[in-house]
Each structure stands twice: as structure tokens, then as C-alpha cells.
Amino acid sequence: MRRFIAGILCLTFLSCTHNVKLEGLTAKEEYTKAYKYFEDGDFGRSIELLGSFFNHHPGSEWVDDAQFYYAESYYQIRGYEEALQEFQFLMTNFPNSEYTENALLRKSQCLENMSPIVQRDQKITKEALAVYEEFTVRYPYSKYIEEAKDGKKRMQEKLYRKSLEIAEIYLKLGKNEAAKIYLKGVIGRSCEWADKAYLLLGDIALNEGKDSLASFYYGKVGGEFGGEAKKRLNKIQ
């Protein structure tokens, strides 16, 4: 039904604004015409013509090709919600397609692009991470494997940053023990946020009168927070 309505709208638009006659074209000819617009970067037009293609040739051997580039066209214009639905449609209905691997990667990338800022709920970020992980398991030798691993790392670091933010909120509320749980979940795992976590753990230990433990944590701090940690460490010593 979704495609049927889309097809009617596309055909109406085409009849009003373009002198392109699609009637009588073979599946390959119609797909090739639509794909040419995709290649030229006219993604809005490729969406229109591929939407029409589904209604004209639903059982064609080109339908999974059309489905992929239909989804990819949305992705290229940053219509990530629409692209996500269309890539999922491809994977569900054409599990053996040559495009399934690429569609799974694009699914994770759509979710990553839909992931909100750190201050908000990170449910979508967790979904993106899960799909990136699924990709690395299903396609360990894929030509896209490094791209997927990089995406996985970005999502992990974003979630570690969220843990750090939650810890800082607990610290402001005076709930040190709760803050420690989140901070210890960051150290040893995060490449980007471990130094900040060590610094905050050092501050907690110092405030609790545990100078030796504070010195231990400050001694672990490097990177951009290394200078602050060194100053605090010098005061203790």
C-alpha cells in the first residue's frame, strides 16, 4: 500500500512536470533510467522513478537493485528515518540479495545519524551499536569491516560519555558511591574519556580523605586532563 500510493503520486508528478513516458519500458529499461538519475546525484528524481518502478515491475529480477538504490537515495538526502525503513525492507524481503550486506551497514549508519546529543536518552545510540556489532559478527571479512568497527567505536565512546555525564550529576547531588559505579565503568574501556574518569575518581578520593588512593587515580590521568591532575597531585605530596 505504501508503495502503491507513492507510485500514484510519482506518476502524477511526472505527468505534470516531465515529458518522460515510462509506459511500455521493460523492467531493465525503467530501472536503468532511474539509476542514471541516482548516478547523476539527482536523488529526488531517482526516488520518484524507483517508486514508480515498484508498481510497474513488482516481480522483476531488478527489484532488489531498485530497492537498495531507493533506500540509498533517501540516505544521500539525509532522510535517515525513511532510509532506515527501506533498508530494513530490503533485508527482510530479500535476505539473499547481494545488497543485504551493504544494507545492514547503512542501517547502523542511519541509526548513528539519528542518535541524539549526549544529554538526551541514548536508546537509538544503543541500537546503532548493536547493529554495528551484528555487522562485524556476520561479515568479519567484509570490505566494509573497518567502517563498521569505526562506527562501533564511535557509539561506544558516546555511551561512555553519557556514563561520565551521569556520574557528574551524581557528584553534584553528593552521591559519590553512585558516581563511582559509572566512573569505574568508563576506565579501562574508553579511549576518549578514561582520563576524565580517573580525574573525577581522584577528586572523590581526595574529598574523602583518601590521599593515597587519590594519588593513585591522579597518576593515571594523561591527555588534556594531565595538567590538572599533576597540580592536584603536587598539592597532596
- Position 12 confidence tier, pLDDT thresholds 50, 70, 90: very low
Beta carbons of 74 and 82 less than 8 angstroms apart: yes
Rounded Cα distance between 9 and 142, Å, is 38
Each residue's pLDDT tens digit, 36-53: 999 999 999 999 999 999
Beta carbons of 160 and 193 less than 8 angstroms apart: yes
Q: Which residues contact 15 (CB under 8 A, 6 or more apart)?
A: none
pLDDT at site 236: 86
Pick the CATH number of 1-94 from 3.30.70.20, 1.25.40.10, 1.20.58.480, 1.10.3720.10: 1.25.40.10
Each residue's pLDDT tens digit, 120-133: 999 999 999 999 99
Return the domain boundaries, the chain.
Answer: 1-94
Beta carbons of 76 and 110 less than 8 angstroms apart: no
pLDDT at site 16: 37
Weakest mean pLDDT among 8-17, 75-84, 95-104, 183-192: 8-17
The predicted model scores a pTM of 0.86
Rounded Cα distance between 112 and 107, Å, is 9
Beta carbons of 127 and 111 less than 8 angstroms apart: yes
Beta carbons of 222 and 192 less than 8 angstroms apart: no
Each residue's pLDDT tens digit, 157-197: 999 999 999 999 999 999 999 999 999 999 989 999 999 99
Range list of H helices, 57-144: 63-76, 80-93, 100-114, 123-138
Percent of the chain with pLDDT over 70: 90
Average model confidence (pLDDT) across the chain: 91
Instruction: Compute the CA torsion angle 159, 161, 164, 165 (nearest 10 deg).
Output: -100
Beta carbons of 81 and 88 less than 8 angstroms apart: no
pLDDT at site 24: 75
Sequential DSSP letters for 146-164: HHHHHHHHHHHHHHHHHHH
Of 203, 201, 170, 206, the residue nearest 188 (C-alpha): 201
